[in-house]
Structure 1
Amino acid sequence: MPKQRITKEMVVNAAFEIARESGMEQVMVKNIADKIGCSVQPIYSYCKNMDGLRQDVVEQINCFIREYVATHINKDDLFRSTGNSYIRLAQEEPHLFRIFILHQREGISSLNDLYQSETNPHMAEFIAEKLNISIKQAKRLHLNMLIYTIGIGTIFSVTTPGISTDEIYTQQEVAYEAFLRQALCSKE
């Protein structure tokens, strides 16, 4: 029987699946080899260090999350449904959500930097138009909801047996209304 050729893609995919099932702390050479069904030798040939492999896994997770959110948003209620899709992600894929939220982000030294790196650059324009508010007010609302959704999503992803999604969505809506009122009352 010919030997199976192990590729870097197979290694990264196996590491992604391990992270998805058990968290990034379980992404280890032996676990990857077991998942693929090979010895550790081919894994070491692709992984000069685990940091590089983990970064490849984070990139795959980011792609997965972008696709996940895109398929779970309501085009008629883009802003709210985006936040709801992240909460749904936290429920359905808690390990991936935690990795996504907790991975190191370089070059972030302010909330504005975070906002610029984590959001669609056209979302503030969309929100401003939809709610008939200024771009500045829309950015403030969006940033507040981004921070809130990350926080409540993280809480949601680490609680057992788990807070109900209805409770989370209700709380998210309360926060949205409060942040919208704040944005509407703020001066340009």
Structure 2
Amino acid sequence: MVSRRNRPAKEPLSRELIVKTAFELLKEQGMEGMSMRKVAKALDTGPSSLYVYFNNLGQLSSYVLDYGFKELTLPSDGEWKERLFGVLQAYFQLLKEQPGLAEISFTILPEGENYLKLLEFVLEALREGEINPQSAAWGADMMLLYVTSVAFEQHSRRKNDSFKLSNTKAALKNVDSARFPLIHSMNEYLFSGDVVVMERFWWGLEVILKGIKDLPVMKE
């Protein structure tokens, strides 16, 4: 038996400590590691103690997501489009470096200060580009979702050992040309695009931005 008096004093439990601990577990183990039970165990306390600070896992996850966003750097130079694409690239890099954030983004909507700064930055860039408010609002949501989905897809490929892109390529290459003529004829393009410079990623952003600029405002 080890006397409690000989143990190092625990850091007092707080909202900030819980969020920080949960974020570290998310980075190490993904969403599976961020249960209330595992967070409580890492803090050497019981799950019931966490409910004093958070109503449920969803609320904790929202805070964790925003905590991760604090590492995002907002660009300050360039024209509106350069700043817009710059922040989206920074957002993508953050999700790529912290894949747990991309994973959790599909289940939880962030509500904190850091997310609001990101959204405000995107909306401001679109406003400066003379895009109407409704299109800017819908477009900002679509752009952030697009970046999140690309980051999550890449994370899923790395995480899932059974997923091999080469298998998918082979399956599409060997399709019956009579039954699937378009897949057969466009096969060389389906997986084209320089991966290093992310040609398809930037093309996708350009497509979304063009749609935001060109489509008329939806009538209520």
Q: CA RMSD in A?
A: 3.7
Q: How does 1:88-127 map to 2 (within 5 A)?
A: 88-103=93-108, 120-121=119-120, 123-127=122-126
Match of 2:33 among 16, 26, 30: 26
The answer for the alignment partner of 2:140 in structure 1 is 142
2-side partners of 1:161 and 1:28: how far apart?
A: 19
1-side partners of 2:159 and 2:142: how far apart?
A: 28
How far does the alpha carbon of each residue in 1:40-94 deviate from its partner, in whole angstroms, 9 at most, with x for none?
A: xx334613599636633530331321x122x2x3222331122112211221100
Number of aligned residue pairs: give it.
Answer: 169
Unaligned runs of 5+ in 1: 107-116
From the two aligned structures, give the one with the greater helix fraction: 1
SS at match of 2:216: coil
Q: How does 1:15-164 map to 2 (within 5 A)?
A: 15-28=22-35, 31-32=38-39, 35-36=42-43, 38=44, 42-44=45-47, 46-48=49-51, 52=56, 55-65=59-69, 67-69=70-72, 71=73, 73-76=74-77, 77-103=82-108, 120-121=119-120, 123-129=122-128, 131-160=129-158
2-side partners of 1:160 and 1:120: how far apart?
A: 28
Letter of the structure 1 residue corresponding to residue 87 of structure 2: T
TM-score (norm 1): 0.66
Q: Which has the larger radius of gyration?
A: 2
Given the superposition, is the C-alpha separation of residues 64 and 165 from structure 1 closer, same or farther in structure 2, using an over 3 Å criterion? farther
SS at match of 1:68: coil
- Percent identity, aligned pairs only, is 18
2-side partners of 1:11 and 1:119: how far apart?
A: 24
Given the superposition, is the C-alpha separation of residues 100 and 118 from structure 1 closer, same or farther in structure 2, using an over 3 Å criterion? farther
Given the superposition, is the C-alpha separation of residues 187 and 18 from structure 1 closer, same or farther in structure 2, using an over 3 Å criterion? closer
Residue 196 (structure 2) pairs with residue 166 (structure 1): yes
Do the aligned residues in 1 keep the contact of 2:102 with 2:148 (CA within 8 Å)? no
Do the aligned residues in 2 keep the contact of 1:12 with 1:53 (CA within 8 Å)? no
Do the aligned residues in 2 keep the contact of 1:125 with 1:135 (CA within 8 Å)? no
> Alpha-carbon deviation of 1:105?
7.6
2-side partners of 1:51 and 1:24: how far apart?
A: 18
2-side partners of 1:91 and 1:105: how far apart?
A: 18
Letter of the structure 2 residue corresponding to residue 101 of structure 1: F
2-side partners of 1:138 and 1:85: how far apart?
A: 20
Letter of the structure 1 residue corresponding to residue 202 of structure 2: E
1-side partners of 2:106 and 2:133: how far apart?
A: 26
How far does the alpha carbon of each residue in 1:94-125 deviate from its partner, in whole angstroms, 9 at most, with x for none?
A: 0122113322689xxxxxxxxxx896346434
